[in-house]
Amino acid sequence: MQRFAGLTIVLLVCFSSVKGQDRYFSQQFANPMYSNPALTGIFLGDYRTSVTYRSQWPMALENPFSSFALSADVNVKLKGKSFFSNDRVGAGVQFFADKLGGFDFNTNQISLFGAYHKTLDVPSQLVLSLGFQAGIVQKNVNYDYLRFGDQFLEGSGYSNPTQEPAAENNYGYSDYAVGLNLGRSPTDGIKFVTGLAMHHFATTNISFFRQLDDAAVIPNKVNLFTRLTGYAQAEMPAGDGFAISPRVSYINQGPHRALQAGSQFLFDLTSDRSRVLYLGAWTRFTNQMEKFGAESLTAFGGLKLGAVLVGLSYDTNISGIASAFGQRGSIEFSLIVIGNTDSDGIYCPEF
């Protein structure tokens, strides 16, 4: 019974994405371009590649909902003595794959990113960035794994043919986003980033029944809600080889709202900061259960070893969903490689 309740909730959560809610990553800055296209090319190095994998409730469900992200971006510093000297341009590409295994329900997306980073003050590395994303999304579902009520025949199971309206099982659409970011990264002192992003600003019909002529039978138009994201994160020295990095972010997408707040603690394992231990925790508040309240607690640990960063987080659900899952949560893993870290760049939180 507990597993059935859990599956029901997963279906509601996952298919809410069909109605206009995006995937979620706990390690927001391990996927910086996903949070804000203005973060394209913002890092301390010449190029960056990252891989993220998230499994939703893997210990509670036989076929959990999973998300995979692969991205790469570069930045190039403009040279000369003109107005544009000390500015940078960034470019990137990102691939997403979401999968609900029990129903073979998949979402794939590939996007291109571009950003311009204007240096407003060189000593403090105060930089204002503008970024843009353009992508293609493809969704598909395997109807062989779906069962409808009119198929049930007592004594023989789901053996009847269904009379449900047939929808296309594979379709695609274009997707766009734009964002702004302001960052400050002096050699010593407080570093910060803050930004705003707007995703899906072009209205898109994402219904599987888009080709159905009779809207009276079943709705054939479902618009993808615009996602607005705002965030702020700082890094403050708090002692020899120790720093505190508080964060807050807010997402509004149609009727869905989410607030995430918490902090990371950075421990330098070497004097040159080539090896750093990250420990952190944050709380996510949402209105998924028809009221705004705490949904999950996230515990995070990460390690920087030169150009390689590895992060692992675990979300424990503390909302009404916890009764169905026995407070089992979600696991997220990230791997980031930054090339030529000896070069200068623009500060961005690693996770």
Q: By the 8 A CB rule, do 177 and 195 touch? A: no
Q: Which of 99, 97, 96 is nearest to 113 (CA)?
A: 96
Whether 349 is covered by a domain: the verdict is no
If one compares 158 and 271, the residue with the highest pLDDT of the two is 271
Domain span holding position 292 = 2-339
Tokens of 112: 């291109």
Compute the chain's Rg from CA coordinates.
22
- pLDDT, tens digit, 9 for 90 and up, residues 270-317: 888 889 999 999 999 988 666 788 888 999 999 999 999 999 999 988
Q: Which of 112, 37, 114 is nearest to 75 (CA)?
A: 114
Question: In which band, very low, low, confident or very high, does the pLDDT at 160 lie, cut at 50, 70 and 90?
Answer: low
The per-residue pLDDT for 62 is 66
The per-residue pLDDT for 163 is 59
Whether 351 is covered by a domain: the verdict is no
Question: In which band, very low, low, confident or very high, does the pLDDT at 337 lie, cut at 50, 70 and 90?
Answer: very high
Is 102's pLDDT higher than 80? no
The per-residue pLDDT for 279 is 97
The per-residue pLDDT for 193 is 94
Helix (H) or strand (E) holding 245: strand 242-253
If one compares 268 and 167, the residue with the highest pLDDT of the two is 268
For residue 62, count other CB atoms closer than 10 A to its CB.
9
Separation of alpha carbons 93 and 74, rounded Å: 10
Whether 270 is covered by a domain: the verdict is yes
Q: By the 8 A CB rule, do 28 and 35 touch? A: yes
Which residues are paired to 111 by β-bridges? 94, 135
Interior/surface letters 271-294, b for 16+ CB within 10 angstroms, e for the rest: eeeeebebebebebbbebeeeeee
Residues 6+ apart with CB under 8 A from 177: 37, 132, 133, 197, 198, 199, 200, 201
Is 29's pLDDT higher than 50? yes
CA angle 283, 285, 291 (to 5 degrees): 150
- Please state which of the ranges 27-36, 102-111, 224-233 shows the lowest mean pLDDT: 102-111
Backbone phi, psi, residue 149, to 5°: -60, -35
Whether 345 is covered by a domain: the verdict is no
The per-residue pLDDT for 136 is 94
Tokens of 39: 């973060």
- pLDDT, tens digit, 9 for 90 and up, residues 193-239: 999 999 998 877 777 766 666 555 556 677 788 999 999 999 999 88
Residue 89, Cβ density class (10 Å: 0-12 exposed, 13-18 middle, ≥19 buried): middle
The highest-confidence range among 16-25, 284-293, 322-331, by mean pLDDT, is 284-293
The per-residue pLDDT for 21 is 64
Separation of alpha carbons 14 and 244, rounded Å: 35
Is 318's pLDDT higher than 50? yes
The per-residue pLDDT for 60 is 56
The per-residue pLDDT for 110 is 97
Domain tally for the chain?
A: 1
| Mean pLDDT, rounded, of the chain | 82
**Residue 206's domain is classified under what CATH number?**
2.40.160.40
CA angle 59, 282, 329 (to 5 degrees): 5
Whether 62 is covered by a domain: the verdict is yes
Whether 347 is covered by a domain: the verdict is no
- Please state which of the ranges 59-63, 183-187, 306-310 shows the lowest mean pLDDT: 59-63
The per-residue pLDDT for 187 is 72
The per-residue pLDDT for 11 is 41
CA distances from 40 to 44, 47, 96, 103, 273 (A): 12, 10, 16, 34, 23
The per-residue pLDDT for 45 is 86
Largest CA distance in the chain: 82
